[in-house]
Chain A
Amino acid sequence: MARFSVALLFSLILGAQAAHAKKTVEPVYQDPFDLAAGGASLTRASKEGTLFSNPALLHLASGFIRWIGSSTTLTINKESFNTAKKFLPKSAGGTGGASSTGSPSTDSSSNNSSTANSSAEIVDDVLKNPVRLGWGEAISLLTRRVGGAFFSRFELDLGAHEYGPAGLPQIELQTESYNGFALGAPVPTPLSWLIFGVTAKYIMASEEYVSADLVDQTQISKYSDPKMAKSLYSQNSGVGLDLAALLFFQGSSVDLTMAAKADDIGDTQMAGDSSGPKQLKQVNSAGLGLTLHTGADAIHLSADYRDIGNAYKQPLFKRIYAGTKVTLRQHLGVAAGFYQGYPSIGAEVDLFFLRLALTAYTRELGDHPGVAPRHMYMFSLSTGF
Chain B
Amino acid sequence: MPWLSKLTSLSFLVMLVSCSGDHNLWDCWSGFKRIKCDKPTAEQIAQNHLNNRDFSAAIEVLTPAIADDPENYSRYPLLAAAYAGRGGIDILGIARKQFGSSDSALTSFSAFLPTPNTVDAETYQQDLSDVASAVATLRAVPSNILTDSEAFSYSASAILQLTIYQSSYSIMFLNQFIISPTSGTITVDQLANMTPEQAEQVLTNLLAVGDLPQVSGNSNMQSAVSTIVTTINEQPGATTKDKIAAYVATQNK
Taking Cβ atoms with an 8 Å cutoff, the residues of A that contact B are 1, 4, 38, 127-128, 161-169, 213-219, 253-254, 290, 292, 299, 301, 315-317, 322-324, 326, 334, 336-338, 340-345, 362, 364, 366, 368-371, 373, 375
Q: Which residues of B contact A (CB under 8 A)?
A: 4, 7-8, 10-12, 14-15, 17-28, 31, 37-41, 43-44, 47-48, 50-51, 74, 77-78, 80-81, 85, 91-92, 94-96, 98, 153-154, 156-158, 160-161, 164, 216-217, 220
Give 8 pairs: A residue, B residue, CB < 8 Å, sorted on A: A162-B50, A168-B81, A218-B217, A219-B217, A334-B15, A345-B18, A370-B48, A373-B22
- Chain A positions within 8 Å of B39 at CB level: 368
Whether the Cβ atoms of B27 and A215 lie closer than 8 Å is no
Separation of A96 and B247 alpha carbons in the complex (Å): 50
Contact A217 B51 (CB under 8 A): no
In the bound complex, CA of A165 to CA of B46 (Å): 9
**CB-based A-B contact count at 8 angstroms:** 165
Residue contact B14 to A322, C-beta cutoff 8 Å: yes
Q: How far is the CA of A334 from the CA of B15 in the complex (A)?
A: 9
> Contacts A165-B47, A316-B26 known; A338 to B81 CB distance under 8 Å?
no
Q: Which residues of B contact A4 (CB under 8 A)?
A: 96
Please, how many angstroms separate the alpha-carbon atoms of A253 and B3 in the complex? Answer: 12
> Distance in Å from the Cβ of A304 to the closest Cβ of chain B?
14
From A168, A322, A324, A370, contact of B24 by CB (8 A):
A370
Interchain CB contact under 8 A, A368 and B91: no
User: What 4 additional pairs, Cβ within 8 angstroms, besides A342-B24, A370-B24?
Assistant: A215-B94, A216-B157, A336-B19, A369-B24
Q: Is B51 a contact of A317 with CB atoms below 8 Å?
A: no
Which residue of A162, A290, A301, A316 contacts B14 across the interface (Cβ within 8 Å)? A301
List, in ascending order, chain A residues with CB within 8 A of B22's CB. 342-343, 362, 373, 375
A162 contacts across to B, CB distance below 8 A: 50-51, 91-92
> Is A371 in contact with B44, judged by CB distance below 8 angstroms?
yes
Given A161-B47, A344-B18: A168 in contact with B7 (beta carbons within 8 A): no
- Interface pair A163/B85, CB less than 8 Å apart: yes
CB of B4 within 8 A of CB of A324, answer no
A168→B11 contact, CB < 8 A: no
Q: Which residues of B contact A364 (CB under 8 A)?
A: 24
Rounded to whole Å, the gap between the CB of A15 and the closest CB of chain B is: 16
The reply to whether B38 and A317 contact each other, CB–CB distance below 8 Å, is yes
Q: Is B85 a contact of A343 with CB atoms below 8 Å?
A: no
Within the complex, what minimum Cβ distance (angstroms) separates B219 from chain A? 8
| Contact assessment for A369 and B15 in the assembled complex, using a CB-CB cutoff below 8 Å | no
Q: How far is the CB of A317 from chain B (nearest CB, A)?
A: 4
B124: shortest Cβ distance to chain A, in Å?
A: 23
CA distance A317 to B40 in the complex (A): 13
Q: Are A217 and B18 in contact (CB under 8 A)?
A: no
User: Is A338 a contact partner of B25 (Cβ separation < 8 A)?
Assistant: yes
Closest to B152 in A: A166
Q: Which of B18, B41, B217 contacts A338 (CB 8 A)?
A: B18
CB-CB < 8 A to A164: which residues of B?
Answer: 47, 157
Assess the B78–A254 pair: CB atoms within 8 A. no
CB-CB < 8 A to B24: which residues of A? 317, 340-342, 362, 364, 369-370, 373
Determine the chain B residues whose CB is within 8 A of the CB of A315 once the complex forms: 26, 38
Point out the residue from B18, B43, B160 that lies within 8 Å of A323, measured CB to CB: B18
| Residue numbers in B under 8 Å from A340 (CB-CB) | 24
Nearest CB of A to B220, in Å: 8
Report whether B14 and A336 are in contact in the complex, using a CB–CB cutoff of 8 Å: yes
A290 to B, closest residue via Cβ: B7
Q: What distance in Å separates the Cβ of A126 from its nearest Cβ neighbour in chain B? A: 12
Q: A213 and B217: CB pair below 8 A? A: yes
B4 and A161 within 8 A (CB): no
Which residues on B sit within 8 Å (CB–CB) of A213? 156-157, 160, 217
Task: Pick the residue among B7, B17, B27, B98 that contacts A369 (CB under 8 A).
Answer: B27
